[in-house]
Amino acid sequence: MMASDPKLKAEMDLQEKLLLLPTQRSVHIANLRSLSLYQCSILLTVSFLALEHLRKKIELSTEWIHAAKLREDEARKVQESSNTQYARLEELKRRLETVAHQQQPMLIRLTRKKTEGKEEGGKEHGQRPATAEGESKSRKKPQIQGRGRGIGIMNNKGRGGWTGAGFDVDVRT
C-alpha cells in the first residue's frame, strides 16, 4: 500500500531528497573545493613558469648590458690611446719644427760650401764628365750568356762546376 499511494510516494521521495540533500551538498562542496584547488595549482604553475621566463630574460639582459659596458670601456681605452698618440705626434711635430728652424742656418752654410767647392764645368770634384748620350764613361759589366740558373750552367770562368743535375762537370776532361 505504501508504494501505491501517489501522495505517499511523493512524501517518501521528498524525505529521501531531504536526507540525501546534506550529503549531496557536502559532496558538491568537496568537488568545488578540489576544483578550486586544482585551478589554483594550475595558476601557480603558470605563474611559476611566467616568473621563470622573466628571470631568464632578466639574466640575458644583464649579460647584454655587461657586454655593452665592456665594449664601451674598450672603446674608451682606444679613444684615450688615440688621443695620447695624437698629442705625442703634435709634440714631436713641434719639436721637429724647432729643430728645423735651429738647423736652417747650418744648412745654408753647408749649401754655400758645396757651391763654392764645384769646379768650373758645373760638376763637383771627382765626377766624370758626361758623354754625348748623357752617360758617364764607366765600364759596363759583361752579361752572362745562357738561360739563367739551372741544368748545364757553368760558372763564367769556364772551369766547370755544379750543373744543377746533381753532379759536377769538369771542363778539363
> Residue 115 corresponds to which cell in the numbers above?
757651391
CA quadruple 29, 33, 35, 37: dihedral, nearest 10: 180
| Any domain includes 38 | yes
pLDDT at 143: 62
| Any domain includes 63 | yes
pLDDT in tens, 93-136: 999 998 888 877 777 777 777 777 654 455 555 555 555 555 55
| Any domain includes 79 | yes
| pLDDT(6) > 80 | yes
Q: Which domain holds residue 19?
A: 1-90
| pLDDT(149) > 60 | no
| Any domain includes 43 | yes
Q: pLDDT confidence of 7, banded at 50, 70, 90?
A: confident
- Please spell the DSSP secondary structure of 139-163, one letter per residue: PPPPPPPSSSSSTT---TTSS-EE-
| Any domain includes 70 | yes
Q: pLDDT confidence of 1, banded at 50, 70, 90?
A: very low
pLDDT in tens, 32-68: 888 888 888 898 898 999 999 999 999 999 999 999 9
Please state the pTM of the whole predicted model: 0.36
Q: Which residue has the higher pLDDT, 42 or 160?
A: 42
By three-state DSSP, how is residue 40 classified? helix
Specify the range with the lowest mean pLDDT, choosing from 39-48, 54-63, 77-86, 148-157.
148-157
Q: In terms of Cα–Cα distance, which of 67, 60, 62, 89 is closest to 75?
A: 67
| Any domain includes 101 | no
| Any domain includes 164 | no
Domain count, the chain: 1
3-state secondary structure 77-139: HHHHHHHHHHHHHHHHHHHHHHHHHHHHHHHHHHHHHHHHCCCCCCCCCCCCCECCCCCECCC
**160 CB neighbour count, 10 Å cutoff:** 14
| pLDDT(157) > 60 | no
| Any domain includes 13 | yes
Q: pLDDT confidence of 29, banded at 50, 70, 90?
A: confident
